Structure formats: structure tokens, C-alpha cells
Amino acid sequence: MKVSEFEFDLPDRLIARYPTEERTASRLLHLDAKSGTIGHHRFSDLPDLIAAPDLLVMNDTRVVPARLFGAKSTGGRVELLLERVLEPNLALMQIRSSKPPRAASYIDLDDTDYRVLVESKQGGFYEVRFPEPGVLPILEAVGHIPLPPYIDRDDESGDRERYQTVYAQEQGAVAAPTAGLHFDKPLLERLAGMGIEQRFVTLHVGAGTFQPVRVENVEEHRMHAEWIDVESDVCEAVARCRAAGGRVIAVGTTTVRSLESAAATGELAPFTGDTEIFIYPGYEFRVVDAMITNFHLPGSTLMMLVSAFAGTDNIRRAYQSAIDEEYRFFSYGDAMLITR
């Protein structure tokens, strides 16, 4: 299976650089993977497309202002991007600079009195030690929202609120679970009033999510590890949903990966730890019956995941329809509901 099978041409004008003014004003393409039919809606129409006893499962990770800028003692410019917090004062980070930083070297953060210590290199990342008050307080105080590379602008004050789901709780992600950006609190309350249960998993999206697939054969790709937490209340809600004849609807590919990772032994069970699950065509889904997702980058692992779920031909047709109808693509773009 070649990565090129998941490529497509996208006009630059369809890349969403900013979100819609209202979260639920996004468009929603409905792909019925069983029949292949495609429908066009607004995200606010979601209550017309799902019903009790369906279950919504969402990722409650919270995006950290994870990007920092600074300078080495030589004066060389440096950009740091959080991968994960290891200890209160120690983080694993990507570091971009003209020359790789040396172990035991310092970086002075821009416009602050903070100086961080590069302790060692771990694969493609660096262990970086922060002074008091620690990694997360410093990032919250002086960090920048790590907008994806295709949003080719600096982050702005509004991104702190809009590049975050309304139900974000667990701090630790460097990218938003973007399918959830379309929900606002009134919509969630309306769905709850319809009897649609809502449960939450946590997957902290890491900096590796921005890395392109660098192999030609899909099977040779290795996913970066991401931390997940699937608790017993989620497993119990899935069991109730199934017993009542409802559908488990995953909001976002991160939720899909969390649920399917927790069911890797065959049955869904509570799980906390790292996952490197890679879902591509041929994968047999154990938990997820439907998903809400955004439109993804050409040749990405997320394109492979939705193709595994809906069928490669269905996804090609749905994406071409979205392009023809001038949907907005990627993180701040429109959404798709896939049922099957």
C-alpha cells in the first residue's frame, strides 16, 4: 500500500486560516459509507443526524501554549515545541535552530527572565529543564499557541480560546482535537436533552502529529507515541449503548485511536498509558460505529485512518465533493460525519 494512494490536490484558498465566527456555523458533510451517499449540512444540524441511544465520546485534552522562542548563548535563534511534560520542571521538546543545541547549554526565552537548560537528546527530541515555577506555568505565561504549519500566520489572542474545545479539561496537548472545535455548550446541552450520552477520553496530542509520513510504503510507517486515558465509565457507557442498539460515535481521530487502543486485546477495557496504534485500510474496528472528523492533510496517517473506516473510494469521492462545494479544510475548517 503506497502513501501516494492517500494524496489529493487541494486549492490553497480552501485551507482555513481562521475559524468560523460561531463554532456550530461550520459545514458538515455526511458520508454514509454503507451506501456511499453524501449529504451537505451545517454542524448545527447534527441533532437531526444522530439520536438516542447513540453515544458521543470526545477527547477532553487541553492545548498548552506549547511554542517558545529564545536564543542560545551564541545569539543563535531557537524555537522550542513541547512534546510532553516528563516532570514538573522537565519536558521533552522539539528544538529548531540553525545548529543543533549542545547538551548542558542554555537558552534564554524571549522577553522573559527565564533560562532553560538543554540536558540531553532523546531520539528526535531534547530533554529541557525549566526553572521554577515549572514547565506548565511558564508555558501558560509566555508560550504561544502551536498552530499547525499550514496555518501560515502567527498565533493571535483569539486562538487561545478558539483552538480549544469548550470541554477541554486535561492539560497536555500541543494540538487540538479539531473535530471537537465545532461544538458549543448549547449544542452539547441540546444533544444531552435528546438522551444522547456524552463521555470523555484523554489523548494528549504530541508534536509528532505535525510530522509528515516519510516512507513510500504505508506499512513501514511507525507512529509516534501519545499518552491516553480511557476510564471505566467510558467502557460502561459503550456497553450500555451497544445493549440498547445505539452507535458509538467518536468525535475526532484521537478519540478513535483512544477507544481502539483500549480494545486492542479484543474487548474494550480501561487503559492508561502510551499508544502507537496505526490505523490504515485493512484494520478491523472493534468499538467505533461512526465518527465526526475534520478534513485531513493529503498523505497523512489521518487520511489513512478515515479511509480504513469508510473505504478509500468513499473517502476520495467525499473529499472531491467537499472540494467541489468549497468546504474549508484542516484544523479550523469544516467537518464530516461518517456513518456505516
| Contact indicator for 307, 295 with CB cutoff of 8 Å | no
Query: Would you state the torsion angle of the CA atoms of residues 263, 265, 267, 270, taken in this order, to the nearest 10 degrees?
Result: -60
Q: How is residue 161 annotated by DSSP? A: H
Q: Is the pLDDT of residue 211 over 80?
A: no
Say what the pTM is: 0.94
pLDDT at 290 (0 to 100): 98
Q: Is the pLDDT of residue 210 over 80?
A: no
Q: How far apart are CA 250 and CA 258, in angstroms?
A: 10
pLDDT at 299 (0 to 100): 96
- Tens-place pLDDT, residues 269-280: 999 999 999 999
Average pLDDT in the 318-339 region?
A: 98
pLDDT at 235 (0 to 100): 98
Mean pLDDT of the chain: 96
Q: Label residues 193-207 b or e (16+ Cβ within 10 Å = b).
A: eeebbbbbbbbbbbb
Average pLDDT in the 204-219 region?
A: 84
pLDDT at 173 (0 to 100): 94
Q: Is the pLDDT of residue 289 over 90?
A: yes
Average pLDDT in the 112-136 region?
A: 95
Q: Is the pLDDT of residue 206 over 90?
A: no
Q: Which three cell numbers stand for residue 153?
A: 500566520
Considering the domain delimited by 3-63+160-339, tell me its CATH architecture: 3-Layer(aba) Sandwich (3.40)
**Beta strand extents in the chain (DSSP E only):** 27-32, 38-42, 55-59, 61-63, 67-72, 77-87, 90-97, 105-109, 115-122, 125-129, 170-173, 197-204, 226-230, 248-251, 271-275, 290-294, 335-339
- Tens-place pLDDT, residues 34-46: 999 999 999 999 9
Average pLDDT in the 310-331 region?
A: 98
Average pLDDT in the 227-246 region?
A: 98
